[in-house]
Chain A
Amino acid sequence: MKNKIKKFLIIVSTFMLLTGCAQERILEQLGIITAIGLDKGEEEREVFGSFVTYKFSQQLSNESTPIYSYGRTARDAYNQAFSKTAKQLVTGQLRAVLYGPELAKEGIWPHLNGLQRNQFVTDLLYVTVTDMPAKEVLSAQIYEEAPNVGIYIYKLLDQVVGKEQIIDSSLHEFTKNYMKIGADPITPVLSKKDDRVIVTGLGLFQDDRLMEIIDLREAFYVRLILDEFKAGELQVELPTENYRQFMEDFDPSPEEESFEMTVQQVRSSSTITVKEPENNRFGLDINFEGEIRELNKEIDLESEEVIRMLEKDLSKIIEDNITKILEKTQELNVDSFGFGTFWNSTFKGNKKLSEEEWRKEYPNFQFDVNVKTKILRHGITQ
């Protein structure tokens, strides 16, 4: 019995002593950061940070102003921001981090690795760049039903990624591609238009430096190479010339030189193979399937011939676009698609690909792009 009381007392006193160790973070006393914007500061090596936080008051208007601060690094800017709010700033609900264009061109890794090390920050955080200062983007005032612009950006990117318009770019993906020799990271590009945040394209990085921004149309082809589609959508422009004879039933003399076609329910898969390792020759096979959703000219879709022609043209357009993007990346020496890793894997462990070798060789890589297109259905027309 005495022993039991002793044991009980030990447990209780341990509990009492330990209570001091846990740091309290009571919800309403926190400034919960949902998005961080980082820009180049005025001085050399200075960072300007914008921190978007939750506001828990119903009375105040919807207007949100981020907290701004300067610092030597992102972490320093965050620490400096402490003096500018009565709430305790925490990063546990961080959803997106935005890098201004100037900072991004210099390299974002120094400002990113702090997040990557922080155990409170989720790995699924969106890493993005902006084409105007991040401060500008975060000061957008229209963010629909979202409680603040940070959550709005998160929902926007979720929606865009969900619709398979761009590829996923989480902190995890970014770090992985940055660390890996043979691949370069890609991030979405955000901008502000009419006081709301929009996605404008993809930023191609060389290591941690932003090299080029491509628009959403091109982003489709990036995804086509890198990832598979399950329910994407593609819009293409086709020349009228070849189809003139099939259109005459509906429209005697189509005047425009081209017409638009939208393909939906796109399913695709891509396989990258190393064809001739010694010549750095790669094969890129893409299977592309979809349904015709929209045609702004009427064509006799009943005939097999038209479908074959459409499939052929579509393949050609996709091949051209992919080749164009590949050429662009080679020009910039940005291996966004990770051909370097495929190349590396052909060495079979005898030697490792070195950074210099990869950078030196990438512009000389040769690609055989081969697209197989299949139009599954063309919808009910009658």
Chain B
Amino acid sequence: MKRKSMKKKQQSLFPCTLEELQTELKEKAMNNNPDFVMKIVETESEQRIGFYFLYTIVKPQVLYDQIISPVQKAKMTLDIQSIDHMIVLPDSKQKSNLDEIGQLLIQGSVCIYIENDQMSLLHSVPLQEHRSIERAETESLIFGPQIAFTNSIGTNLNMIRNMVDTPHLKIEKFIIGNRIPTEVQMMYMDDIANDENVIELRNRLTSLRTEDVMNSAVLSQQIEDNPYSIFPQFMVSELPDRFSYSIKEGKIGILVDNSPSGIIAPITFSSFFESTDDIYGRWIIGFFTRLMRMFAMIVSITLTPIYVAALTFHYEVIPEALLLSLGESRNRVPFPPLLETLILETMMEFIREAGARLPTKVGQTMGIVGGIVIGQAVVQAGFTSNILIILVALSALASFTTPDYVMGSSLRILRFPIIIFAGFLGFVGFFFMLAFIIIHLLRLRSLHRPYTAPIYPFRFTDFDQSQVRIPFVLNKERPVSNLPKKTERQGRNSHNHPLFKTRGKDIDE
């Protein structure tokens, strides 16, 4: 009741003078912000018109050219409708509530008020400073456009619109955040994307209650199926080409304002090991690299635990050719294999983290110091065996082949519990932990869709587009794991392409 009465009191402010409105706005709505300004224009018909805005957040050029200057030049007597007609900007609102006006001013609007009028007119001319389109840094590519999303949702949408220019691209807009509202755009192909997925994701976005959304990485964690899991269940990519490719295959994309990356959903475990490079390159290269990445993933989480288990418990399994060199290098090490491995793995993480945090120029030096100096000295000092250095370096290297950094980091961390289990219980512990992870993966869902999709539930037809990559001639259907509305790719004629029909001519024919 009290609030209602306050509202009534505020609404009763109009009509008022320009100065009154200024003080009211500045004190009540603008919290005495120093960048709040008022400009008064007197027209020929001797009307006083006030322009209220925050000068840090409006585009000054647009403000002057499109709003102030036409009003100034007006000859007739102006009312709020005629001003609105004069200004050719798309986003206009008429408000009389002081709080709402304040809110819009903060988002980059200009408030136009004719003295002693009942209403004020608001036009949105926001200034958004952001980086220009730059090269992708975290997900670098060899082929492909190599551009990354920027902070501006407008620019990002523009890129996606250009890449997927079909009317079937449907975009839905949400405003999320109670304290600081943020614009979120969900987009999908309405003729391909599965309806259930769209409804599910829409529900999650609309039912999300949160103070603010920092960026898409945060949003993806807020709407995940299992927030306790170590594995990411949505992919956050900074590559517009990857984003648009996923949308075209029937997935759903989400863009968040002020965030240089987009969310792709639903996702499967194997899609974290795919890169758009596999598609740009020839199929046999893509085929090989995808299999290699899968292999590297397995190597990166099993290599050092196997070393620990074999050296602590299972000397029987060590091949006789390796036994002597292993024994010789282990002979000087004062720690049990478990501790030795944990020390070296931690050291590796130090180097990686230091390299990531330091400025690029120092970071390189750090890599050399860490990799060569420490690595060499550690073996010379008899701290660890040199075979372990090779294994740790190899598994670290293998973990960096994962195109998605978040997934790569998850796998690297996952190695530690496996090592500890292997160190305490040998191969029993190793396989226990491995089984534990596999069970967890099998239970995991992304938008209620199975995470391990083409492997379990087994869908043989999807293997050619996830685990391996086949030539486009054979690629007739969209992956069924996305449950697309249309599986058949439209209007394909690559099998009877004119190129295949001509016999070709030699130079002397």
Contact = CB atoms under 8 A, between A and B. Distances in A.
Do these two chains really belong together in a complex? yes
A273 interface: no
Nearest to B426: A22
Given A15-B421, A26-B337, A54 B327 contact: yes
A95 B321 CA distance: 13
Contacts of A353: none
B125 interface: no
A318 interface: no
Q: Which of B314, B323, B425 has the most CB of A within 10 A?
A: B323
Contacts of A151: 320
B424 interface: yes
Interface stretch (B206-214, B279-287, B328-336): B328-336
Q: Is the interface of A mostly helix, strand, loop or mixed?
A: loop
A18 B330 CA distance: 26
A155 to B, nearest CB: 9
A27 B323 CA distance: 9
Given A26-B336, A27-B330, A92 B421 contact: no
A57 B324 CA distance: 9
Given A15-B421, A147-B324, A56 B331 contact: yes
Given A15-B421, A151-B320, A28 B426 contact: no
Given A28-B331, A57-B328, A151-B320, A18 B425 contact: yes
B311 interface: yes
A93 interface: yes
A22 B426 CA distance: 8
Interface string A29-55: 010101000000000000000000010
B64 interface: no
Interface string A54-72: 1011100000000000000
B424 A15 contact: yes
A32 B323 CA distance: 10
A145 B425 CA distance: 35
B316 A19 contact: no
A277 B7 CA distance: 118
A56 B324 contact: yes
B312 interface: yes
Contacts of A18: 424-425
Contacts of A19: 424-425
A236 to B, nearest CB: 37
B323 A24 contact: no
A54 B424 contact: no
Nearest to B311: A27
A352 interface: no
B231 to A, nearest CB: 18
B40 interface: no
A25 B315 contact: yes
A30 B324 CA distance: 12
Contacts of A154: 320
Nearest to A18: B425
Contacts of B428: 22
Contacts of A15: 421, 424-425, 429
B316 A92 contact: yes
Interface in B271-321: 311-316, 318, 320
A120 interface: yes
Contact of A26 (B312, B318, B421, B424): B312
A90 interface: yes
Contacts of B323: 27, 32, 54, 93, 147
A19 B328 CA distance: 27
A93 B315 contact: yes
Contacts of B426: 22
A58 to B, nearest CB: 6
A56 B327 contact: yes
B313 A24 contact: yes
A23 to B, nearest CB: 8
Contact of B320 (A26, A27, A93, A120): A93
A15 B428 CA distance: 11
Given A56-B324, A56-B328, A95-B320, A32 B425 contact: no
Contacts of B326: 27
A240 to B, nearest CB: 49
Interface string A105-141: 0000000000000001000000000000000000000
Contacts of A54: 323-324, 327
B326 to A, nearest CB: 6
A22 B337 contact: no
A27 B335 CA distance: 12
Contact of B330 (A56, A93, A147): A56
Given A27-B315, A28-B330, A28-B331, A22 B320 contact: no
B304 to A, nearest CB: 15
Contacts of A25: 312-315
26 contacts: A15-B424, A15-B429, A18-B424, A19-B425, A22-B424, A22-B426, A24-B313, A25-B312, A25-B313, A25-B314, A26-B311, A26-B336, A27-B311, A27-B315, A27-B318, A27-B330, A28-B330, A28-B333, A34-B320, A54-B327, A56-B324, A90-B315, A92-B316, A93-B315, A93-B323, A95-B320
Given A27-B323, A32-B327, A120-B316, 15 more contacts: A15-B429, A18-B424, A18-B425, A22-B429, A25-B315, A26-B311, A27-B311, A27-B318, A27-B327, A28-B330, A54-B324, A58-B328, A92-B316, A93-B316, A147-B324
> What 5 pairs between A and B have smallest CB-CB spacing?
A92-B316, A56-B327, A19-B424, A28-B330, A147-B324
